Amino acid sequence: MHPEREIVVVVGDYQEGRNPKVNNMIPGYAAAKHPFVLISDSNVAPGPGYLREAMAHFRDPSVGLVSHLVRGIGAKTLGARLENQHLNTFILPSVSLLDRMFGKPCVVGKSMLMRRADLDAMGGLASVKDYLAEDYVLGEAFRKAGKKVVISGSPVDNVNVYRTPRQFLSRHARWNRMRFSIAGAGYFLELFTNPVGLSLLMVAAFPGDAGAWTIAGGVWAAKMAMDYGMHRMLGDRTSPGWVLLGPLRDVLAAGLWFSAFFSRNVEWRGRKLRITRGSRLVPVDESPAMEPAVEAAR
């Protein structure tokens, strides 16, 4: 499409890291020639002006990394719809809230733009090859180096078309264990972001109380209305009937939240690993005494 541009496709076989995504990126990173590095997932569809908008933030020399909010689109199966609803009604608002209200930018690896020199000074991508949350660790590394981390308000589209419910559950069980390894006690605050899950706990405590059921019904209706408004605000014009999945997604999310307390193990692309503090990955057969010292950012 652009014969005037020098474009190189790099295929490598780097296997030294425990994060397979980072393993895939390191050969290309080694071959990169230009002063900026962009990391974007294969199922991300940026809109016109994406790079121009992201690069504009670097007019401020103190900016070190630019990431974006992520919007889920394109679902044609139940699992993909659950995935997109989770992105649009939990992940996107949470990232925005942490950044705008609490000044804690949470980097999402689906879109990261940074200076090559800054990343090299931190050890390059190899510095995060053993972390599940390589995006979070990179963001913390830039912040600790005195660089600003910017979360752009212009969302990029994450295209989820075909996904099974099992894939949805597996993916978010892994994410919850990852967040627990990072947030520690702060992970408990997430429970209060799921009003449907809390209302179910109330019903379970008072199963014969009509008032409890009434409150739960009101909570579910309010959550569906909020989800509908959020999807409309993000430009989703699919059938409003899909909003009925909101309470189901929240119930599943509540179960996944609790699952983080029962196991630290994950299976990722055929490898069985354990998540340790700061989202560092170790083989499941490696004893805790053998774990290397964890540094959230080097």
Residue for token pair 């733009």: 113
Taking only the tens of pLDDT, the chain with its 298 residues reads: 678 888 888 888 888 989 999 999 999 999 888 999 999 998 999 888 999 999 999 999 999 999 999 999 988 999 999 998 889 888 898 899 888 888 889 898 899 999 999 999 999 999 999 999 999 999 999 999 999 999 998 889 999 999 999 999 988 888 899 999 998 888 988 888 888 989 988 999 998 889 999 999 999 899 888 888 888 888 877 666 777 788 888 888 888 899 889 888 887 777 788 999 999 999 887 655 444 433 433 4
Predicted pLDDT of residue 239: 67
CB of 128 closer than 8 Å to CB of 19: yes
Helix axes 245-259, 78-86, angle to 10 degrees: 70
The structural domains of the chain, ordered by start, are 20-290 (3.90.550)
Cβ–Cβ under 8 Å, residues 20 and 268: yes
**Helices and strands, counts by H and E, the chain:** 10, 8
Phi, psi of 192 (to 5 degrees): -85, 0
Backbone angle region of 268, left / alpha / beta, with phi > 0 → left and psi within -120 to 50 → alpha: beta
Burial (CB < 10 A; 0-12, 13-18, 19+), residue 6, is exposed
On whether the pTM is more than 0.95, the answer is no
